[in-house]
Chain A
Amino acid sequence: MQRFAQSLRHNTPFLVMALPGILLLLVFSYLPMTGIIIAFKDFRASLGILDSPWVGFKNFEFLLRSPVLARITINTLVLNGLFILAGLIASVGLALLLNEIRLKSAARAYQTVVFFPYFISWVIVGYFSFALLNSDNGLVNRVLQSVGLEPVAWYSSPQYWPWILTLVHIWKSVGYGSIIYLAAMLGINPEYYEAAMLDGANKLQQIRYITLPHLVPVMVILTLLAIGRIFYADFGLFYYVTRDNSLLYPTTDVIDTYVYRALRVNADIGMAAAAGLYQSVVGFVLILVSNRIVKRIDPERALF
């Protein structure tokens, strides 16, 4: 008892310093975790969380029986999968191009331009895509017409959207990604290149046999960590760029947009909570698994 009091006195300043941060996490992260019981209740606002009646797995049964579960799961996995793959290729490719430029001031200027979209909010990106894609007077349809092609009603043609969203995703994130790979390239010992040049290797051979192999570890780790988060979608991209258009849901509705809509638009709290818990649990497992693999490859890069 005395030792505890002593230890408490010793640790008091630390506890006081950590208090605001710990309290905020407690309220905004841990309290909601206890709220996952809502998924097993027939939630009624007037009764509150604790007094709403339990319904067991009924919300999950509804979710399983509705066609929406398969749709949002497949869309989330396929679209995020596309983003991961295309993002990887684009980031590495752009980093390779920028790295080859000898005029460093020009390379910096190019980098500035491709990094810029990272700073633009998804709402503004929604404006950009509207200016390009709206069917009355958007730029893309004007270009199509000027070369004699039929204009496309983009906002009511779901089949194009996996590609549109992938392009927008790349546009917004490739600057960020290429910075990481450029940094990794700076770490490669220049003697490798000197030796290769002495042996008569050309630029492409140098990239193929020196640069890329050195980037593989970073590529693998970043991809694995991205796969660990594959169950979480970038809400802003799917909500603002599609303008939350219900005609596009078949290919653009993901778990996050569905949960938001079930909660705020349809006020179907049971379904929203069930889908949300499904995302949290599967997402948790995926992060654990991907982290375990990362840890086996490179313990330094693992999250924990």
Chain B
Amino acid sequence: MVAPILPRAHYLLRQLLRNKSQLILHAVILSITALFLIPLLVVVSASFTDEIALTRNGFGIWPSQFSLAAYNYILLDPSQILRAYGVTAIVTIVGTVLGVVIMSLLAYVLFRHDFTWRRPMAFFVFFTMLFNGGLVPTYILITQYLKLRNTLPVLILPYLVVPWFVFLLRTYFLTLPKEFVESAKIDGANEWQIYRHIIMPLSTPALATIGLFCILMFWNDWWLALLYIDEPKLYPLQYLLFAILRNAEFLSSNASSLAMLTSTRPPLQTTRMAMAVIAIGPVAVAFLVLQRYFIRGITLGGIKGE
């Protein structure tokens, strides 16, 4: 495997060196990408640095004194972060599955010309993109009338229907050949069958793209928790990280008994950074694997704005 790659890499490098303007171009972009990575490197390196060394030497892109103390400290009692991971995983899975089903059904109805009230319903969905009641009425509705504060559904329900995704799906359905639906109708298929057995299987690329954006939206959300969750056992991952950054003691409050057991001061600074790294990890891997689907999604609908 390696053998044919090496001469090829060598050849490419020679080509590159011969072409001065390409070389400058690579140098420019390489330095830009290096700048882009510095913040990530600094946090990762801090998480592997000895607590006292970090306080003394400061943040750097390389650990001034390598240490695994922060990760060991988290491993002493990982229940806090595991719990937050669990909350986020449940919210993400349930939210994405429900969201894709509900939005694709709605998009299907808006796509079918046989539906008499198609236009008014499309306007009903669309208008929510132009105008909203704002934070205060929403907050009062959810906390005082729906009584959803400190429940799991409050982390899911408000995000289930994203009008923008609904229209993206409808646009995609419209690109499918009309004959599929028509011949199915002639064969006596009802609307559910057409949706389930014709439109859905043909639309997997669009559904996958919407699904990925939903996953990202739920996984990275802190907004709903910031507003509606103050029960620590319901903290999703991002909100737990926020609580820790705002107040490092939040870490120790959970593990204070363990700190007494180990009789050392908990390495709060570096542990915070280690928590962030643990949270970024899966996102980074998923990103590397799936980014081309996101790119397709952006080019599919991105022209119309975010």
* Interface residues in chain A, defined as those with a beta carbon under 8 Å from any beta carbon in chain B: 7, 10-11, 13-15, 17-18, 20-22, 24-25, 27-36, 38-39, 43, 45, 48-49, 94, 97-98, 100-103, 106, 110, 112-117, 119-132, 134, 136-139, 141-142, 171, 176, 179-180, 183-184, 203, 218, 221-222, 225-226, 229, 235-236, 240, 243, 256, 259-260, 263-264, 269, 272-273, 276-277, 279-280, 283-284, 287-288, 301, 303-304
Contacts and interface: CB of A to CB of B under 8 A. Distances in A.
Contacts of A45: 140, 144
Nearest to B195: A17
B299 interface: yes
A218 B305 CA distance: 10
B155 to A, nearest CB: 13
Given A33-B131, A48-B144, A124 B241 contact: yes
B304 A301 contact: yes
B128 A30 contact: yes
B293 interface: no
B99 to A, nearest CB: 10
A271 to B, nearest CB: 10
B67 to A, nearest CB: 16
A127 B22 contact: no
A276 B223 CA distance: 17
A187 to B, nearest CB: 10
A132 B59 contact: yes
Contacts of B280: 120, 124
Contacts of A226: 305
Interface stretch (B39-47, B174-182, B200-208, B260-268): B39-47
B138 A176 contact: no
| Those 10 A-B pairs whose CB atoms lie nearest each other, nearest first | A35-B137, A32-B133, A276-B134, A137-B58, A21-B106, A128-B39, A121-B220, A32-B137, A29-B128, A13-B191
A137 B132 contact: no
Given A32-B134, A94-B32, 14 more contacts: A14-B112, A17-B192, A18-B105, A21-B105, A21-B125, A22-B125, A24-B160, A28-B157, A32-B137, A43-B140, A45-B140, A49-B137, A131-B43, A176-B302
Contacts of B141: 27, 31-32, 35
A137 B133 contact: no
B174 to A, nearest CB: 14
Nearest to B306: A176
B199 to A, nearest CB: 11
Contact of A119 (B103, B133, B287): B287
Interface stretch (B73-81, B114-122, B250-258): B114-122
B295 interface: yes
Given A14-B112, A33-B131, A132-B59, A113 B36 contact: yes
B66 interface: no
B303 interface: yes
Contacts of B105: 17-18, 20-21
A127 B272 contact: yes
Contacts of B109: 14-15, 17-18
Nearest to B269: A137
Contacts of B173: none
A36 B137 contact: yes
B183 interface: no
